Chains A and B, each alone.
Chain A
Amino acid sequence: MKVSKLTLILLVAALVAPFVVYPVLLAKILCFALFAAAFNLLLGYVGLLSFGHAAFLGTGGYITGWLMMNAGITPELAILLGTGAAGLLGAVYGKLAVKREGIYFAMVTLALAQLIFFVYLQAPFTGGEDGMQGIPRGELFGFIDLSDNLNMYYFVLAIFLFGYWLIHRTIHSPFGQVLKAIRENEPRAVSLGYNVSDYKWVAFMISAALAGLAGSTKSLVFQLTSLTDAHWHMSGEVVLMTLVGGVGTVFGPLVGAGTIVTMQNYLSGGELGNYVHIIMGAIFVICVLAFRGGLVGEFQKLLKRNAG
């Protein structure tokens, strides 16, 4: 695989970063970046706007959290099972949702996500409003202590890289080419003999599983899963991250998640603490009105213009 200079620089930066910036914040950014990337796989490459991705983030988190607290298994196994559960849910939801398009697709995903949200609200194992708290981080493979923030960060980085690599592979495979064809012109893809809804379904499953992976990892980083993760606000937040970063770009979700999470983090502590939501809303409006391509999209345009 050819590795570009930019990727290499970013990789080195990611390895050094925890010595400069607080590692838990970095781990949070990576979790959300993976979540946004999973969402971007659908919106950016298939053209499907899912408004229910929080369901998969929450499912991954709850399953992993429950397993870590009750089953006494190692974290990598718990994450794997959490991811699997989210993927399974994605298979069911995807099967139903891909039957519709456009706004109806968004509404179906939202409705299905609300269903599972209600289950998590009522089911005793989730702790309802209080969430699942005090999830142990455990020991990776039974011997690497994850309660150390640095170890945790590198573990999250590895998961994140794996997720990004998987998305990269998906996009650049023949399967990914078909997805893009569907995005550009669905009737033509159908006329070429592709079973469009099956392609969409598989893409939905991959996206759901990766969102679950992000949720599972996040539950270990914060040692907590709460209704926030499964709430439709979260589904909206991931749309925001992806749009701010740049839809359909590889690094867009990473930049978007980084921007939003850092902003939430720093604004919450400062003088502007009361205005977090207003500022985020304003940024969203500005982005949609002025930078349609998001930060990364605009940056790429700028590079192209200078080159040409």
Chain B
Amino acid sequence: MKALTNTVAAVALAATAASPALANISDDKIKIGVLADMGGVYSDLCGPGCVTALEMAAEDVGGKVLGAPIEIISADDQLKADVGSAIVRKWVENEQVDAVGGLVSSAVVGAATKVLTDAKKIAMISTAASNAFTTSACSPYNVHWTYNVTAMANGTVKPMVAAGKKKWFFITADYAFGHALESVATEVIEANGGEVVGVVRAPLATTDFSSYVLQAQASGADVVALANAGADTVNSLKAATEFGLTEMVDVAGLLVFTPAAQAMDPDTAGGMRLTTGFYWDYDDQTRQWSERFLERTGTLPAMGHAGAYSMAMHYFRAIEAAGTDDSDAVMAKMRELKPEDFFARNAYLRADGRMVHDMYYAEIKPAAERSGDNDIFRILSVIPGDEAFAPMLPECNFN
């Protein structure tokens, strides 16, 4: 025991002597916890893949910032807010975690960010959809990087209304996330001179959408919007095809991730419009990074993965510039510096923690136009960040 103590002391002494800059780094290391759904329905969106993305980021800065080693740990929140908040609490109180990344399901993220804000640690939100983290539940320590429901609604709905598709019908997942998506999209439709001719709310995990699709068919709408996610999107789309709805009207997916789009039958999903924060095949930069990711994980990166990497790189850069890992100083630098990489285009981190960047309006390619399994989207247009995201609320200005 004594020998061990001596060794530890000697190592500690050597470490301090070798790198005086460490004085400003808490616990002489930069520790990031990745909290995500590792085995459940959202694990493809940002589960083990987000851990890989952060490890890639750590490797790309040489495993060290200001001479302090970067350590990445991870945990499965099992999509439960109580499990997630308990893990985060343990991390910040007992395990010297400086920032938490991943952060997928909005319910878990809401609980985790509360704990992080109390502890003055940074929440690096990559995949959660809710816009609450920079509005009603905003905090000086929240960074919301990839997208949110507002950007999804603005991106998908605006161009369609502008193109003359004025009458909308919603098939909405009947819970908080679906309602939020529907209400944000409705605002956008009405603000642009369109109208909502009908809404039908299907319980979460509905398998038979036929009655809902028939209502949509009878409504006389130009566009049927799917305010749902994951398997619900896939199933509702399937029913829409079976009843020939997709031939009569346009179908818009309000939240479609690359893995879900890849899982859909191209004959059914082809032509569906959506908005995404990232697409792997956009240009050389995105392809280069995505191929690295593909090599390591065997799957294409979803926007949450790319966002997690980009955000971590920016975080490391901010620590470097601030000369410390103190949360307030790092947040100030993160807002001051412009993130610019394969993911973040024309980007800046707003004072409320919202990262504003270019979003992409896309269409799912029909089977005939695909060159391979990984050829999924056609990017129709680029949406400038300021048009995609809602303006900052004055009460959330943390500058």
A-to-B contact residues, CB < 8 Å = 22, 24-25, 28, 121, 127-131, 133-134, 149, 218, 222-224, 226-229, 264-265, 267-269, 273-277
- Among A229, A276, A277, the residue within 8 A (CB) of B82 is A229
- A129 CA to B111 CA, complexed, in Å: 12
Interface centre among A28, A268, A277 (most CB of B within 10 A): A268
Q: Decide yes or no: A269 and B73 within 8 Å by CB, A24-B90, A226-B81 being known contacts.
A: yes
Contact B38 A223 (CB under 8 A): no
Contact A129 B82 (CB under 8 A): no
A-B contact pairs, 15 of them (CB 8 A): A24-B89, A128-B179, A129-B106, A129-B177, A130-B106, A149-B93, A218-B82, A222-B82, A226-B107, A227-B107, A228-B82, A264-B83, A268-B75, A273-B75, A274-B43
Q: Decide yes or no: A25 and B86 within 8 Å by CB, A130-B106, A133-B110, A133-B111 being known contacts.
A: yes
Given contacts A128-B176, A269-B74, 18 further A-B contacts (CB under 8 A): A24-B89, A25-B86, A25-B90, A127-B176, A129-B107, A129-B176, A130-B81, A130-B106, A130-B110, A133-B110, A223-B114, A224-B81, A224-B82, A224-B111, A228-B80, A265-B86, A268-B77, A273-B38
Q: How far is the CB of B14 from chain A (nearest CB, A)?
A: 30
- A273 CA to B80 CA, complexed, in Å: 14
Chain B contributes a number of interface residues (CB within 8 A of A) equal to 34
Contacts of B89 in A (CB 8 A): 24
* Top 4 A-B pairs, shortest CB-CB distance: A128-B176, A129-B176, A226-B81, A273-B76
B353 part of interface (Cβ distance < 8 Å): no
- Among B81, B106, B110, B176, the residue within 8 A (CB) of A228 is B81
Contact A274 B38 (CB under 8 A): yes
- Among B74, B76, B85, the residue within 8 A (CB) of A276 is B76
Q: How far is the CB of B228 from chain A (nearest CB, A)?
A: 13
Contact B39 A277 (CB under 8 A): yes
- A64 CA to B389 CA, complexed, in Å: 36
Interface centre among A129, A218, A226 (most CB of B within 10 A): A129
Enumerate B85-110 residues with CB–CB distance to A below 8 Å.
Answer: 85-87, 89-90, 93-94, 106-107, 110
- A34 CA to B87 CA, complexed, in Å: 21
Q: How far is the CB of A27 from chain B (nearest CB, A)?
A: 10
- Among B76, B81, B130, the residue within 8 A (CB) of A274 is B76
Contacts of A229 in B (CB 8 A): 82
- A233 CA to B213 CA, complexed, in Å: 31
Contact B39 A273 (CB under 8 A): yes
Contacts of A127 in B (CB 8 A): 176
- A218 CA to B48 CA, complexed, in Å: 29
Contacts of B106 in A (CB 8 A): 129-130
Contacts of B179 in A (CB 8 A): 128
Contacts of A274 in B (CB 8 A): 38-39, 43, 48, 76
Contacts of A267 in B (CB 8 A): 76
Contacts of A129 in B (CB 8 A): 106-107, 175-177
Q: How far is the CB of B93 from chain A (nearest CB, A)?
A: 7
Contact B81 A133 (CB under 8 A): yes
- A224 CA to B130 CA, complexed, in Å: 18
Contacts of B39 in A (CB 8 A): 273-277
Enumerate B12-44 residues with CB–CB distance to A below 8 Å.
Answer: 38-39, 43
Contact A226 B82 (CB under 8 A): yes
